[in-house]
Amino acid sequence: MRSRPGRHQPVRNSTQSAVCLALTSDSPLHSSFTRQARQAIVLAMLCAAGLLCTTLQQAVGGEPARPAADAVGPNATEAGSGWKAGFGRVRITPEKPMFASGYGGRDKPTEVTVHELYARTAALQDADGNTVVVIGLDLIGVPDKTMASVISREIEKKHGIPRENLMFASSHTHSGPALDDMLSHMMAMSPEDWQVVRDHQLLLNQKVIQAIEEAIADLAPALVSAGSGNCGFASNRRYPRGIGPYDHSVPVLRVTTPDGSRIRGMVYGYACHNTVLGMYTWNGDYAGYASSWLEDRFPGAVAVFHAGCGADQNPLPRRTVELAEKYGRMLGYACSLVVREEMQPVAPKARAAFSRTDLAFDQLPTEARIRENLKSSSRYERARAGVLLEQLQSQGSLSPTYPYPVQVWQLGDTITWVALGGEVVVEYALRLQQELDSPQVWVTGYANDVMAYIPSERILAAGGYEGDTSMIVYQQPSKWKTGLEDQIVGEVRKLTEAIGGQVKAPSDR
Ligand SMILES: [Zn+2]
C-alpha cells in the first residue's frame, strides 16, 4: 500500500486562518512578551476591521461567532452544543516496586518514577442522555478478563452505562506496570512477583473506576468539536525501515465551555509505538509527555490520549528521556494547533456498538509438538508450551479461535470512531479511512483487549514479528489464519451501519 499522510484537515477559512495563526503561534522560541506584543498589535488592527469578536474567541480556543462559509452547519457554536461533558484524571503509578511490562529482558522490579502514569477519562453525554466514556490509560495494554470486563460490569451496575459505551484505550507505554493475564510469561518473574502483579491489578482497577466516576460527576454543558492535525515522527519499522505505510494524522476532539471561552479538555490520538523508553523507570513515554505538555498549556484541561494503529510504527531514533520529551512536545504542539483553530462542530448524538468476532488461528499444535517445545532453547517458547499444555489438560482441547473485540462510536454526523483490540498495524487505519464515509474517521488500536498483534493480510503473508513470531510472546497457539483483515473490516462496517454511520460501496472507495 502506498504511503500517504492522514487525509482529514481542519475546516478553515483562509482569512480567519491567517489571523488565528498570527495570534496563536506558540513555538517555544517565542517569548510571552513577544507574543503578547504581537497580539496587541494584531488586535488593534482587527478592532478597526470589525473582526475582534471572532478573533478573540479563536485566540482562546473557542468557535467563531460567525463561522466561515465553508464551515459545517449554519452556526458552529450552536451546532456543537447540546452536549454535557466531563473529565477525570487519576494517578496510577505503582506505589510499590513491581515488574514493568513490554520488554522481556527486564529481570528485576521497577521502582523509580521519572514521569507519572495516569488514567485520564472523558465522558460525553448527548442530548438524549446517552453517555459514552473514553478511558486513556498509561499502560502496556488492557487485559479483558482481569480489567476491561471487570470494570465494565461495575460501571454498568453502578451507573447504567453499557459495555459498548466504554472505550478502554491503552497508550502501550513500555514503562508501565505488568498486568494480570497479559504477556504473563514475557518477564522472568517468580511466583511472589506474580502475586504483586495480581494484587496491584485489583488496586489499578479501582483507580480506573475512580477516573471514570470523576468524569461522570464532572458532566456539565459543553461544546464539542472535531478536527485533525499532523505529526511526523512515526516511522514504519518493518524492513526496509521507513519505507512502508504510515498514518501521521492526529485526530482531535475538543471540549469547551458553552460560550467557547475555555477548553475543558481534549481527546487526541497518534499511531506509533509508545516505545522511546524501556528502562527500569515508570514513564508514560512520548504520549504521557504530550498529555502533560497540553495540560500545562491549557490550565485545568485534561488531555486524553488514545493510540492509533501503530503496531508496525516506531518513534525513531529513540531510547533517551530527551527524545521522549521531544516527541511529546511535537505531538502536543500538533494537537494544540488544531484546538486553537476552527474545528468541525459535533451534533449532540452519541451511538455505540461493541461485538466480538471469532478470529481463527492458522493451525493448532499437537500435544506432542507442545511437549517438544517444553524443551525449547527459547524461554518464550517454553513458556508458551507450558500455557498451552495447561489449557489442553484443563479444557480437553485448545480453542481454535479468539473472541476479538470490535467497537464503533458514531458522534453526530462528524466522527466515526473505531476501536480495535490488539496491536493493530497501520494498514487497518488507512483502509478504514477509505471504506467509512464520515468527515472524521478515527481508528484506535490497543483498545478493550490486547491479546496479540493484528497484522494486515499482506503482513500475515510476509511473516516476521508482527505477522507470525510475536504470537509466541503472546502465548497464542499459532499465527492467525488468513482472512482476518476482511473479517475485522467487515465487522467494523456492520457495526458502523448498525448505529447509523455511513460506509462506502466498493465502487466508491
Ligand atoms: Zn507493541
Q: How far is the CA of 273 from the centre of ligand 1 (A)?
A: 6
Q: How far is the CA of 313 from the centre of ligand 1 (A)?
A: 9
pLDDT reported for residue 79:
75
Q: How far is the CA of 98 from the centre of ligand 1 (A)?
A: 20
DSSP structure class, residue 479: P
Which residue reads 517445545 in cell numbers?
A: 373
CB atoms within 10 A of CB 291: 28
Predicted TM-score (pTM) of this structure = 0.85
Across residues 123-140, what is the average pLDDT? 98
Across residues 61-67, what is the average pLDDT? 33
Q: How far is the CA of 453 from the centre of ligand 1 (A)?
A: 8
Torsion angle of C-alpha atoms 454, 486, 133, 203, degrees rounded to 10: -30
Domain borders along the chain are 77-346, 365-399
pLDDT (tens digit per residue) in 323-346: 999 999 999 999 999 999 999 999
Across residues 53-73, what is the average pLDDT? 32
Q: How far is the CA of 102 from the centre of ligand 1 (A)?
A: 7
pLDDT reported for residue 78:
66
Q: How far is the CA of 192 from the centre of ligand 1 (A)?
A: 26
CB atoms within 10 A of CB 259: 13
Q: How far is the CA of 381 from the centre of ligand 1 (A)?
A: 18
Residue 423 pLDDT greater than 70, yes or no: yes
Which cell numbers hold the place of 318? 529513540
d(Cα 283, Cα 302) in Å, to the nearest integer? Answer: 18
pLDDT (tens digit per residue) in 192-227: 999 999 999 999 999 999 999 999 999 999 999 999
pLDDT reported for residue 341:
93
Q: How far is the CA of 350 from the centre of ligand 1 (A)?
A: 30
**Mean of per-residue pLDDT scores for the chain:** 87
Q: How far is the CA of 490 from the centre of ligand 1 (A)?
A: 24
Q: How far is the CA of 272 from the centre of ligand 1 (A)?
A: 9
H helices present in 25-148, as ranges? 32-49, 52-59, 76-79
Q: How far is the CA of 307 from the centre of ligand 1 (A)?
A: 11
Q: How far is the CA of 141 from the centre of ligand 1 (A)?
A: 9
Across residues 272-296, what is the average pLDDT? 97
Q: How far is the CA of 274 from the centre of ligand 1 (A)?
A: 8
Q: How far is the CA of 446 from the centre of ligand 1 (A)?
A: 9
DSSP element (H, E) containing 121: strand 118-125
Q: How far is the CA of 294 from the centre of ligand 1 (A)?
A: 25
Which cell numbers hold the place of 133? 466514556
Q: How far is the CA of 84 from the centre of ligand 1 (A)?
A: 35
Residues 6+ positions from 397 with CB-CB distance below 8 Å = none
How many Cα atoms sit within 13 Å of 419 on the Cβ side?
30
Q: How far is the CA of 448 from the centre of ligand 1 (A)?
A: 15
Using 50, 70 and 90 to split pLDDT, how confident is the model at 484?
very high
- Calculate Rg over the CA atoms of the chain: 23
Q: How far is the CA of 314 from the centre of ligand 1 (A)?
A: 9
Q: How far is the CA of 382 from the centre of ligand 1 (A)?
A: 21
**β partners of residue 380:** none
Which cell numbers hold the place of 20? 488565528
Q: How far is the CA of 483 from the centre of ligand 1 (A)?
A: 22
H helices present in 114-190, as ranges? 149-159
